[in-house]
């Protein structure tokens, strides 16, 4: 993973092009996968999951986790729901504050923007 972070730091512009291409691929695939039967969508996720293990191509899929099963589930979760929203870390932190939570940690997301926040309810 450290070599990936180093590459991103050295090639920030290329990294954002990869993210842009990945979002274009996502939007295109989801036009079809959100209308297909669930078992077929799950079957489509297998080739995506195998690509996720290929250096250089893994960032064009929807999961870069090293474990095959986790990549499979994350790919399915990305391409199957009919609705999908993208939010920033700042939005998530604001929601936490509005609902009476304190953010303990903003979870790292790497090249693919998938922000997360770990928090605790205020007493």
Q: What is the pLDDT of residues 35-80, one digit of tens each?
A: 999 999 999 999 989 988 888 787 778 888 889 999 999 999 999 9
pLDDT digits (tens, 9 = 90+) for 24-38: 888 999 999 999 999
3-state secondary structure at position 103: strand
What percent of the chain stands above pLDDT 70? Answer: 88
* Residue 73 in tokens: 């589930």
0.75 exceeded by pTM? no
Task: Looking at the structure, tell me whether residues 96 and 117 fall in a common domain.
Answer: yes
Task: Looking at the structure, tell me whether residues 15 and 49 fall in a common domain.
Answer: yes
Number of domains in the chain: 2
Task: Looking at the structure, tell me whether residues 33 and 75 fall in a common domain.
Answer: yes
d(CA 16, CA 83): 24
Task: Looking at the structure, tell me whether residues 44 and 104 fall in a common domain.
Answer: no
């Amino acid at each position: 993973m450290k070599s990936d972070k180093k590459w991103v730091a050295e090639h920030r512009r290329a990294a954002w092009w990869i993210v842009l291409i990945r979002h274009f691929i996502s939007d295109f695939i989801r036009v079809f996968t959100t209308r297909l039967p669930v078992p077929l969508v799950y079957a489509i996720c297998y080739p995506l999951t195998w690509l996720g293990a290929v250096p250089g191509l893994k960032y064009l899929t929807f999961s870069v986790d090293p474990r095959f099963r986790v990549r499979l589930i994350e790919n399915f979760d990305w391409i199957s729901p009919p609705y999908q929203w993208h939010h920033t870390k700042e939005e998530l932190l604001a929601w936490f504050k509005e609902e009476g939570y304190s953010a303990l940690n903003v979870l790292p997301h790497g090249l693919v923007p998938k922000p997360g926040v770990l928090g605790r309810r205020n007493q």
